């Protein structure tokens, strides 16, 4: 599949299931190329797209290296890669699933430690008492350093975690942890509590594009087609179509205009409005004597432009060719 656009998605776990469901909802069906345990797939309707299945962490690294063109992974992992490289990829779309928080957590037994200021005090006294810096176990080295710096905490050292980070304090490997959590239940089960102002990042799954991959006109055109469908489906989830009898258009147009989507005109028979504005628009039209009104929910709302594709092309155009 030389010349294909390469899309990387998670190979296992809840995030893999959510990505597959999201693509299916957008009308894009994955077909595994190697059975249930395969690491390649195809995307129906996109013969020029090669899908690779990889770990969430490997996807972030592949985007940085330019080994894939597009990838879906957690914002926490992308944020760590961005902190390290400073801009080898571009976040295109927030996907609304895979939500989790990157947080600082301390032992519950530390009753007087609730804030990052308390962490700073404890770290300082720990250094004076033991001659050693407070240990912080984490996989998120760059984001931890940046967050601790912002809070003025300096008497610590990072212990890079290769396994279950939340178990580090109980194992005697660290005093604090910085880890990802969805509910805090796993941290609590390991005797840990989240520091009150210790939220580093609210993460969710993101579609990102590599700025180091080899693109070219054909791949960019394929990417634009792909993004256009994703964006049209995203709009469709938030927009309703409100219709009225054609002979009431003049009155309806004046009343509906303030509710219309900014890039969508009021047509002879109806208007597209944000779902959140639907009832207000319907009530205003009814008060003006317009009716009966009918409401439909479009699956897709296509636009002439793709903001995500435009941002990608603009970012790529600012990169000077190597060599």
**CATH number for 286:** 3.30.70
Q: Are residues 66 and 35 in the same domain?
A: yes
Query: Both 65 and 210 in a single domain?
Result: yes
Residues 93 and 50 in one domain: yes
Task: Using CB atoms within 10 Å of the CB of residue 53, give its burial: 0 to 12 exposed, 13 to 18 middle, 19+ buried.
Answer: buried
Residue scoring higher pLDDT (186 or 86) = 186
* CATH assignment at residue 33: 3.40.190.10
Domain closes at, from 153, 168, 202: 202
Cα–Cα distance for residue pair 303/46, rounded to 1 Å: 20
pLDDT, tens only, 164-192: 999 999 999 999 999 999 999 999 999 99
Q: Do 222 and 128 belong to one domain?
A: no
Tokens of 21: 């469901």
Token pair belonging to 15:
């995030």
* Whether residue 61 sits in one domain with residue 210: yes
Question: Measuring CA to CA, which residue among 67, 62, 100, 98 is closest to residue 81?
Answer: 62
Same domain, 94 and 111: no
Which residue's structure tokens are 């910085």?
A: 178
Distance CA 80, CA 253 (A): 49
Rounded Cα distance between 124 and 134, Å, is 8
Let me know whether 86 and 210 are in one domain: yes
Question: Which residues form the domain of 149?
Answer: 100-202
Q: How confident is the model at residue 246 (pLDDT cuts 50, 70, 90)?
A: confident
Q: How far apart are alpha carbons 218 and 213 in whole angstroms?
A: 13
Query: Does 222 share its domain with 294?
Result: yes
CA dist 112 and 309 (Å) reads 50
Alpha-carbon distance of 178 to 103, in angstroms, equals 5
The residue among 165, 190, 214 that closes a domain is 214
Structure tokens at 228: 């256009």
Higher pLDDT, residue 289 or 32? 289
Mean pLDDT of 7-27: 95
Angular region, 291: left φ>0, alpha ψ -120 to 50, beta rest? left
Residue 83 pLDDT > 80, yes or no?
Answer: no
HSE-CB at 218 with a 13 A cutoff on CA atoms is: 10
Q: How many domains does the chain divide into?
A: 3
Mean pLDDT of 285-309: 94
**Model pLDDT, residue 263:** 66
Residue where one domain finishes, among candidates 144, 173, 202: 202
Predicted pLDDT at 77: 92
Instruction: Say yes or no: 208 and 191 in one domain.
Output: no
Q: Would you state the pLDDT for residue 1?
A: 43
State the burial class of residue 262 (Cβ atoms within 10 Å of its Cβ: 0-12, 13-18, 19+). Answer: exposed
What tokens were used for 94? 């927030």
* φ/ψ bin of 13: left (φ > 0), alpha (ψ from -120 to 50), beta (otherwise): left
Distance CA 299, CA 210 (A): 29
Strand partners, 206: 73, 94
DSSP state of 212: S
- Is residue 215 within 8 A of residue 42, CB to CB? The reply is no
Mean pLDDT of the chain: 92
CA distances from 188 to 106, 174, 192 (A): 10, 16, 5
Residues 89 and 50 grouped into a single domain:
yes
Q: Domain check: are 76 and 130 in the same one?
A: no
Q: What percent of the chain has pLDDT over 90?
A: 82
Give residue 86's region: left, alpha or beta (phi > 0; psi -120 to 50). Answer: left
* Cβ–Cβ under 8 Å, residues 116 and 195: yes
Question: Is residue 191 domain-shared with residue 43, that is, in the same domain?
Answer: no
């Amino acid at each position: 599949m030389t010349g294909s656009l390469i899309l990387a998605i998670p190979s296992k776990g809840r995030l893999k299931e959510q990505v597959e469901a999201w693509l299916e909802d957008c009308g894009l069906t994955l077909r595994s190329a190697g059975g249930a345990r395969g690491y390649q797939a195809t995307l129906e309707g996109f013969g020029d797209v090669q899908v690779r299945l990889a770990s969430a962490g490997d996807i972030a690294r592949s985007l940085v290296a330019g080994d894939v063109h597009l990838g879906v992974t957690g914002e926490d992992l992308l944020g760590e890669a961005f902190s390290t490289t400073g801009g080898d990829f571009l976040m295109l779309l927030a996907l609304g699933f895979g939500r989790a928080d990157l947080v600082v957590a301390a032992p519950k037994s530390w009753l007087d430690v609730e804030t990052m200021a308390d962490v700073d005090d404890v770290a300082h006294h720990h250094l004076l008492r033991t001659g050693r810096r407070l240990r912080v176990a984490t996989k998120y080295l760059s984001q931890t350093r940046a967050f601790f710096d912002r809070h003025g905490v300096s008497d610590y050292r990072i212990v890079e975690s290769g396994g279950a980070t939340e178990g580090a304090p109980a194992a005697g490997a660290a005093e604090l942890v910085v880890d990802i959590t969805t509910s805090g239940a796993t941290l609590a089960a390991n005797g840990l509590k989240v520091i009150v102002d210790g939220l580093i990042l609210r993460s969710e799954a993101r579609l990102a594009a590599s700025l180091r991959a080899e693109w070219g006109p054909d791949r960019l055109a394929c990417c634009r087609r792909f993004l256009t469908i994703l964006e049209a489906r995203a709009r469709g989830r938030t927009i309703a179509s409100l219709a009225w009898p054609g002979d009431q258009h003049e009155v309806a147009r004046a009343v509906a205009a303030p509710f219309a989507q900014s890039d969508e005109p009021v047509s002879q028979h109806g208007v597209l409005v944000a779902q959140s504005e639907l009832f207000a628009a319907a009530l205003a039209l009814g008060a003006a004597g317009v009716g009966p009104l009918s409401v439909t929910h479009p699956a897709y709302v296509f636009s002439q432009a793709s903001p995500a594709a435009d941002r990608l092309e603009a970012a790529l155009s600012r990169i000077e060719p190597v060599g």
